[in-house]
Chains A and B, each alone.
Chain A
């Protein structure tokens, strides 16, 4: 089989931008030249990046969500300095090379609504659709591209170059029913990335910080609570997407479960391979046999799961 048949590519690619984002504590925007990944990913998918090509410490590649498609040749990653892997990535410059494998994982499902139970239901044609995106801190990285993807119905995004720069007014008539809402919370103002520009992609945006330095003071889910009446209306088809800290995800799962609304969450685990072969990243999922659960791989069967699949 020629290489061109492969769904996933692994190759050394060039960094075109690696810049600390202003007003943040060590959060970087990384842009990589890789036409295959730039034109073939879905939001929620990720790449494995090995930044130190000439030594073995850190040994493993690290997973990063594909944050944005910059153009048909380049995609972007948002990362926060933490340990060995991100520090090594942070030391690289424009023109340096990294080993990139991707796109990996399943990504968000934007086309089919899933209510309680396991049957998949087509999004109702006559109902108004509301996509509710709930992001916590760096979790925005896997959700940022969702609006563009939803506008293009997830189809042939490569033919829609420039769509990322559309603002809401331009796309309104593209799919008039769709409404996309962002709830975005973090500990403090400097961890709310793109807080001044992110409005362009959404119909409504709500911010919160734990310390009250930007937006609502407190938990982002308190803001969701305030508007839940709208999402529960009979003529509305609302679906939730989320990525963020574990406690936020757990609380949102509890809430959407009680409301009977569909929720997809992007999970995080420590990965060794990211390819689905080592079985190092499993999560318990519901199953009628086998003591009620089966292990699924976060990297391959996820990282996005419907909340009602999780055990």
Chain B
């Protein structure tokens, strides 16, 4: 720890060791270059990339974003530079900071997930993989991979077979029973679970009577989804033994404390960093202050301790 408060914020997520339990959320941090011009990464637990696919993707037509009360709907369409350019142009930069690099990735089929996981595992400087399973499974008519327990099992176990890196499985909130999906992912070999991804949502312009976003809909993030995310994180924490990375609308250090109390072992911040690029540093300071003022010595003392009743 950099100061002498004697408070420990480091966490071990299976084999993934983080000095600080806070990181950027995938897709809100690019590949790190832009934020490095604004803020220091000193207290970042990890650097998390935009979702990578085997081939580059252009993403959706504009408009891609729409603000709603306390929320943001995005339909970027998973635009990314693809595996080859990531390896050549983006990873060397990310490696420089000596902070664990988590590569978020996705595919159009289980086979693509498997190939990409194996390619990524071969790269020096990648500390863990995060499989985004909220995207459409082209073979199954575009239904999200993450919505079907059997597909989740197949996807996670085949990724595990092809990669030795710690595997984070990022869950979609749009499922009937998230505990079930979480249990299946754990059984298939997931080392860590992260949640939540954005919520499918839309906005309609009543003057043109058209959907505001070109694609018609997108994913909702920001403070609007925080109460839902917190409940889902708590559900998953209660359902599995593996650690959980919680996210969804975290905008203040107090929000972060709530997620730890709900059972998250680490948290990620997305949309809030668009507004305040120094948010992670501020959350770390707030967490330390909270632990100190309440007589805790380690972040572990508050993970999952929220209780019901009087």
Residues of A at the B interface (CB closer than 8 Å) are 1, 3, 6-11, 50, 56-61, 99, 101, 269-283, 290, 295, 300
A contact face: mostly helix, strand, loop, or mixed: loop
B70 touches A278 (CB 8 A): no
A57 touches B69 (CB 8 A): yes
Which of B67, B71, B273 is most buried by chain A, counting CB atoms within 10 A of its CB?
Answer: B67
B 37-81 to A, binary, CB cutoff 8 A, 1 in contact else 0: 111100000000010000000110011111101111010100100
A273: B residues at CB distance < 8 A: 28, 273-274
A272: B residues at CB distance < 8 A: 65, 67, 72, 74, 271, 274
Number of A-B contacts defined by CB within 8 Å: 103
A280 touches B37 (CB 8 A): no
A282 touches B62 (CB 8 A): yes
* Distance of A140 from chain B, by nearest CB (Å): 26
Residue of chain A at shortest CB distance from B62: A282
B72 touches A101 (CB 8 A): no
Using known A-B contacts A272-B274, A277-B35, A278-B274, determine if residue A60 contacts B64 with beta carbons closer than 8 Å: no
B64 touches A280 (CB 8 A): yes
CA of A59 to CA of B70 in the docked complex: distance in angstroms?
5
* Distance of B260 from chain A, by nearest CB (Å): 21
A10 touches B277 (CB 8 A): yes
CA of A59 to CA of B76 in the docked complex: distance in angstroms?
19
A278 touches B37 (CB 8 A): no
B275 on the A face (CB < 8 A): yes
CA of A273 to CA of B278 in the docked complex: distance in angstroms?
13
B275 touches A59 (CB 8 A): yes
A300: B residues at CB distance < 8 A: 34
B 1-43 to A, binary, CB cutoff 8 A, 1 in contact else 0: 0000000000000000000000000011110001101111000
B277 interface neighbour in A7, A59, A101, Cβ under 8 Å: A101
B66: A residues at CB distance < 8 A: 270
Using known A-B contacts A269-B62, A272-B65, determine if residue A277 contacts B30 with beta carbons closer than 8 Å: yes
Across chains A and B, which 4 residue pairs bring their CB atoms closest together, nearest first?
A: A280-B65, A273-B274, A277-B30, A56-B70
A10 interface neighbour in B50, B72, B79, B278, Cβ under 8 Å: B278
A61: B residues at CB distance < 8 A: 274-275
B246 on the A face (CB < 8 A): no
B65 touches A270 (CB 8 A): yes
B76 interface neighbour in A10, A11, A56, A278, Cβ under 8 Å: A278
- Between A and B, 30 residue pairs with Cβ closer than 8 Å are A1-B40, A7-B37, A8-B38, A10-B39, A50-B276, A56-B70, A56-B223, A56-B251, A57-B70, A59-B67, A59-B71, A59-B72, A60-B275, A61-B274, A61-B275, A101-B38, A270-B65, A270-B66, A271-B65, A272-B74, A272-B274, A275-B274, A276-B34, A277-B34, A278-B28, A278-B274, A280-B74, A280-B76, A283-B62, A295-B59
B100: A residues at CB distance < 8 A: none
A275 touches B34 (CB 8 A): yes
B71: A residues at CB distance < 8 A: 59
B222 on the A face (CB < 8 A): yes
* Distance of A4 from chain B, by nearest CB (Å): 11
B40: A residues at CB distance < 8 A: 1, 3
A10 touches B38 (CB 8 A): yes
CA of A100 to CA of B287 in the docked complex: distance in angstroms?
24
B251: A residues at CB distance < 8 A: 56
CA of A277 to CA of B222 in the docked complex: distance in angstroms?
16
CA of A277 to CA of B30 in the docked complex: distance in angstroms?
5
